[in-house]
Amino acid sequence: MNDTEFKNAVILAVDDEPINLKLLERILSNNGYTSILTETDPRNVSAIYQTNRPDLILLDLNMPHCDGYQVMAQLKALNDPLLPPIVILTAQNTEQFLVKALEAGARDFVTKPFKVDELLVRVKNLIEIQLAHKSLYMQKVDLEKMVLQRTRQLHEERLQIIQRVGWAAEFNEKENGNHILRISNISALLAKNLGFDDYQCELILNASSMHDIGKINIPDSILSKPGKLDAQEWEVMKQHTLLGAQILDGNDSDLMTMAKEIALTHHEKWDGSGYPNGLAGDEIPMVGRIVAVADVFDSLTSSRPYMQKWTVEAAIELIKDLSGKHFDPKVVSVFESELEEIIKIKNQFA
C-alpha cells in the first residue's frame, strides 16, 4: 500500500456540532488526509455512504433525529461486504455506552475532547485494515471472475463436444448439425412451457442433442437406404434406442442421466405401441415425450434419404392427429400454442 493511496482514503465524519467537524477536518487535513467528508445531519449518512463509499466513518453517538446507534443499524442493513470500520466519537466514556456501541458495530471509539495523537493513531490503524480488506476482497472478486470465465469456457467446450457427438450420429443420414440444433431448441421451448425450471431447460437443450447417439452403431446401408426398411432392417434400426442408452450409461451426472433417458424413450408412444419397451402414458418420462414431438416434427420437415420432405403445415396436422396416440396430449397442446416460436427456430437453423 503506497502513501498516496493511504492518504487518499475517504473519511466520513458525522457530528451534529459543526465546530467538532471543523476540528476533525483540520486535524486530518493537517496530517495529509485529502478526502474528508463531513455531515451534521445523521439522516443523510446512508445516502452519503452509498454515493462515496468511505473507508472510515467517525460517528457521534448523541445526535437529534437519528442517533449513532440508528445510523450503524442503517449501514449494517445495507449488507455491504466492504462496510468500513466505524469509530465512535462520544463524551460518554462509561462501559455501558461503549459496550453498546461495540455491539452495534463500532470498531473503536475516541472520547471528547479529542486527543489528537490518539485520534490519528486509531484513524491510521483502521484505514490500514480497511484498505487491506478491500485489496483482499478485490483479489477474491477477480479470482471468482477468472474461475467463472474458465468454467463458462469449459462448459461451452463440453456443449460443443456434445453437439458434435449428436451430429456424428446423424451423419450417415446426410443430415447436418442444424437438425440437432432445431430439436434441442424446440425441446427446450416445449419444456419451458411445460413448467421446467431454467436448469432443467438447459439440461434438455443439451441432452436432447444425443437422442439418436445409438445410430452410430447402425449400418450405413440401413440409415441411408432410400425407401422403406424391411422387417429385419427395421428391427436393427429400432436397436438404436437401446444402443444409445448403453453408450450414455455409467455416468450419474444430471446431463448424462437425462440424455440416456431421452435416447431410450423418445420412440415410445403414448398408447404403448412404441419401442423399445412399449411404455405407455406417464410411464414414459416427460423428457422422452417432449423430444418425441420435436423429433417427429423436424424429421418430417427435413430432407431424408428414405422419405420425401413434408410441408410444415402437413407435419403440424399429423402431430395434432396423433395426439393421445403417438404423443402426450399435453405436449401437443403446448406444441400448438408455441407454433410461432417453433417456426422461428426451424427457420433460424434451416
Question: What phi, psi does 274 have (nearest 5°)?
Answer: -85, -170
- The yes-or-no answer on residue 238 being catalytic is no
b/e burial code for range 147-178 (CB count within 10 A of at least 16 → b): eeeeeeeeeeeebeebbebbbebbebbebebb
Given 115, 124, 174, 215, the catalytic residue = 215
Cell digits for 56? 472510515
CA distances from 224 to 7, 221, 228, 301 (A): 77, 6, 11, 17
Whether 299 contacts 158, CB under 8 Å: no
Could you please report the per-residue DSSP string of 252-302? Answer: -SHHHHHHHHHHHHTT--TTS--SSS---GGGS-HHHHHHHHHHHHHHHTS
Q: Secondary structure of the chain: what % helix, strand, coil (to 5)?
A: 65, 10, 30
DSSP state of 323: B
State the catalytic residues: 215
